[in-house]
Structure 1
Amino acid sequence: MPEQSKTPTTGDDVRPGRGAPAATGRSGSTGFRVVGAVLVLLMLSSSVPSALYVLYQQRWGLSSGAVTVVFALYAVTVLGGLLLFGSLSDTVGRRPVLGASLVLAIVSMGLFAGADGLGLLLAARAVQGLAVGLATGAMGAALLELTPPARPALGAQVNSAGPTVGIGLGGLGAGLLVQYAPAPTVLSYVLLAGAFALALVGVARMAESAPGAGGRLRVVPHRIRVPAAVRGRFAVLALTIVAVWAVGGFYLSLGPHLALSLLGSTNYLVGGATVALLAGAATAAQLLLGRTPPLRTAVLGLLGLLSGLALVLLALGLGSAPLFLAATAVLGSGWGAAFLGAFRALSTLAAPEHRGELTAAVYVFAYLAMSVPAVLAGTLTTIHGLQRTSVGFMVAVAAVCAPAVFATLRLASRTRAEGSTP
């Protein structure tokens, strides 16, 4: 067993407590990679159905409203998992929570592969959402705790970049398989089930990192709490989270359909590639701005979101497919930067023993922002059509971004005056 390091595993003071062996040296590095892989896989699997929604609509006669209900059920069950299990890993440990999540993920892949109509599709999405909700707090906290000491910002970077990498790979990979491989509604899920099984082995072998691991298993509904001293800052940054994930929810539910409509295409790869373009641009922005101060990154991201939204509106008005793709790339870069900046700023607000709980609170806002606007957009699409609904949606998100920019600038100014970080 490697010698215990005297250096905390993150920039914060994180020391494993009772029942939690020190996750340092090679074991900590391995654990960091395993948790990062689990994050990417879970997000990848969550975006695979997005590339298939158009096919499901054609085969089963689903409306746009039904598609957004399927998408929203995922987000609602993620929220349920967060509210029930958001801080569970703070007491029982990260490993058992991640292991249980991966088992649920494998079950959901089986349900997806066997789906032959709306009922099983809803069941699969519900189980998948519960798996992600169970794992979210544990993943976020573990990545911060297992961050290599030489790169203290890496945990927050992976926390924010992991979802965009996974979403992009899922959209593009599923689009390729649907268009060019056999069994389009089965193969993606079978491959993912195998990947989750390998990840489960990795989690079983990684070191525990939670400071208070070893406590009793007790699951009770509870309110996600934010420490009173940081609620003002949390509220400001939550505006950014809402804007970012409202865009993500729209693109993951209706984005492929909108792209196919504008491009006049029937190639399923186009829908998946649209999601991949959004997420790929987000990842590139996160890599580019990884060393930029968090609040400055959030402001740059919000400005990118506003620019992207304006370009999307112009593309819809002109009916221009090339401009729509360019706008998606700009929108994605703003999405990635805004989420990175907000998450990094939020990650410094909690003490180590409450990291899982605060991370869960962040994602409660994220998944509410993903689900509620997406369902509303899907409902309005059946009444007003896809293009008019898309225009209204982009205007509404811009109305959130604008005050978020000014609030974040004020927070950055106040933070500099106090001489604190971020």
Structure 2
Amino acid sequence: MASRTTAPVTAHPAGTRAGATRGSGFRVVAAVLVLLMLSSSVPSALYVLYQQRWDLSSGLVTVVFAVYAVTVLAGLLLFGSLSDTLGRRPVLGASLVLAIVSMALFAGAQGPALLLTARVVQGLAVGLATGAMGAALLELAPPSRPALGAQVNSAGPTVGIGLGGLGAGLLVQYAPAPTALSYLLLVGAFALALVGVARMPESAPGAGGRPKVVPHRIRVPAPVRRRFAVLVLTVVAVWSVGGFYLSLGPHLALSLLDSTNYLVGGATVALLAGAATTAQLLLGRTPALRTALLGLGGLIAGLGLVLVSLGIGSAWVFLAATAVLGAGWGAAFLGAFRALSALAEPAHRGELTAAVYVFAYLAMSVPAVLAGVLTNVHGLHRTSVGFMAAVAAVCVVALLVTLRLARRTPAEGSPA
């Protein structure tokens, strides 16, 4: 028998291993965030095809869209704090299982009933995951880059929405099984993400306790209600635009371009989201109120250009308007959300954030449904003109009152 020699031991300090595990966990959660947002925008690229194949009205299309927004809000308010006691991993795992079920339902849908069911399940999956993802990204962010968690939380949704719109548009136009392939690919992606979540470290300080489903309180502290009302007006304007574009935007783009290429619809969503992401990354260190004001200016300019494009029937002006609108959208939401988050004490920040989400998802869903119903009566072109003009008016009011707030309270203009 050969003599046993002692091989040199390679040093792997526990801190290094922990750091590597933490880093891999951060990447997994970031991927889950992008995948969930990507999957949420895939139906937007298919709505026109659904309308053609199943003879759906624009009103029903916007109802399908709004059902998602309402169920996301319900899931967030009911289960947003569940991961604080149960842990981030179990909640993210359950969310991914629901996401897989929703993708399977989408792939098998042959009419609006299953489409609505799939959207409900998808909304619950996203609502369940939102609180856990946001917290895990902050907890697992690299110590050398502590702000990275907040940056991914901010930019991840628009990155996912853009990729989903563009990817689905490509597959619908150029690949087989246009109403199923995108969803089947996402089933595989979510399954891989589920493996990653199972292997990631648990980051919740109180994980392992008894599960508690405690609905988020919706409360705005009395001393900040006036400022909240001013800032939330920007959130309403931003998500009214987002809801319209994600539900009827692809149809409008195809109409203006006089095209039957479904990639155009997906590219419109991608252009809006891509411009929003770029603006958020560029303005990440700009003071909150200044960012909101810049964003509102971009929204007003973009909405004005959309109205011009509809007036002259120019597709190229519409695409330029979408890029400007997207930049304003991203900046306005980033600035308003940061300013709103700074209004409450840390102990009550969750309650105030829940109130912001209520306004955001209602603004995303209710105006979109109203626009869909009006489209059935007045047509897409006239409804779009009226909708954009109304949102532009809201943006002007929001700009004026936010500017007044910034002048009265200069300290609010500092980074939040």
Assess same fold via TM > 0.5: yes
Is 1:97–2:91 an aligned residue pair?
A: yes
Flag the 1:351–1:136 CA change in 2: closer, same or farther, 3 A: farther
Structure 1 position 145, deviation (Å): 2.9
Cα deviation digits, residues 117-173 of structure 1 (max 9, x gap):
111111001100111111112222222333334334332222221111111100100
In 2, distance between residues paired with 1:237 and 1:80? 23
Amino acid at match of 1:331: L
Structure 1 position 290, deviation (Å): 2.0
Structure 2 stretches lacking a partner, 5+ long: 1-11
1:178 corresponds in structure 2 to 172
Is 1:203–2:197 an aligned residue pair?
A: yes
Q: Secondary structure at the match of 1:49?
A: helix
In 2, distance between residues paired with 1:135 and 1:267? 34
Is 1:188–2:182 an aligned residue pair?
A: yes
Structure 1 position 223, deviation (Å): 3.6
Structure 1 position 205, deviation (Å): 2.0
Map residues 348-387 of structure 1 onto 2, 5 A cutoff: 348=342, 358-387=352-381
Which of 155, 165, 169 is residue 161 of structure 1 equivalent to? Answer: 155
Contact 2:137 2:153 in 1 (8 A): yes
Amino acid at match of 1:388: R
Is 1:289–2:298 an aligned residue pair?
A: no
In 2, distance between residues paired with 1:3 and 1:230? 46
Amino acid at match of 1:296: R
Which of 242, 248, 257 is residue 248 of structure 1 equivalent to? Answer: 242
Is 1:218–2:212 an aligned residue pair?
A: yes
* Aligned alpha-carbon RMSD (Å): 2.4
Amino acid at match of 1:341: G
More deviation, 70-79/133-142: 133-142
Contact 1:212 1:353 in 2 (8 A): no
1:74 corresponds in structure 2 to 68
In 2, distance between residues paired with 1:151 and 1:239? 32
Flag the 1:354–1:44 CA change in 2: closer, same or farther, 3 A: farther
More deviation, 102-111/205-214: 205-214
1:13 corresponds in structure 2 to none
In 2, distance between residues paired with 1:278 and 1:401? 17
Q: Secondary structure at the match of 2:125?
A: helix
Q: Who wins on radius of gyration, i.e. which is larger?
A: 2
In 1, distance between residues paired with 2:261 and 2:135? 40
2:19 corresponds in structure 1 to 25
Is 1:125–2:93 an aligned residue pair?
A: no
Amino acid at match of 2:25: G
In 2, distance between residues paired with 1:419 and 1:176? 42
1:263 corresponds in structure 2 to 257
In 1, distance between residues paired with 2:221 and 2:14? 35
Q: Secondary structure at the match of 1:209?
A: coil
Structure 1 position 412, deviation (Å): 3.5
Flag the 1:305–1:382 CA change in 2: closer, same or farther, 3 A: same
Is 1:311–2:311 an aligned residue pair?
A: no
Flag the 1:198–1:234 CA change in 2: closer, same or farther, 3 A: farther
Map residues 340-351 of structure 1 onto 2, 5 A cutoff: 340-348=334-342
Amino acid at match of 1:321: A
In 2, distance between residues paired with 1:403 and 1:4? 52
More deviation, 195-204/408-417: 408-417
In 2, distance between residues paired with 1:57 and 1:291? 43
2:3 corresponds in structure 1 to none
Q: State the TM-score, normalized to the length of structure 1.
A: 0.89
In 2, distance between residues paired with 1:407 and 1:151? 35
In 2, distance between residues paired with 1:183 and 1:282? 31
Amino acid at match of 2:32: V
Flag the 1:88–1:353 CA change in 2: closer, same or farther, 3 A: farther
1:400 corresponds in structure 2 to 394
Structure 1 position 76, deviation (Å): 1.2
Q: State the TM-score, normalized to the length of structure 2.
A: 0.90
Cα deviation digits, residues 196-239 of structure 1 (max 9, x gap):
11111222222233343333212255543345555444433322
Amino acid at match of 1:207: P
Contact 2:288 2:412 in 1 (8 A): no
2:267 corresponds in structure 1 to 273
More deviation, 156-165/371-380: 156-165
Contact 1:140 1:359 in 2 (8 A): no
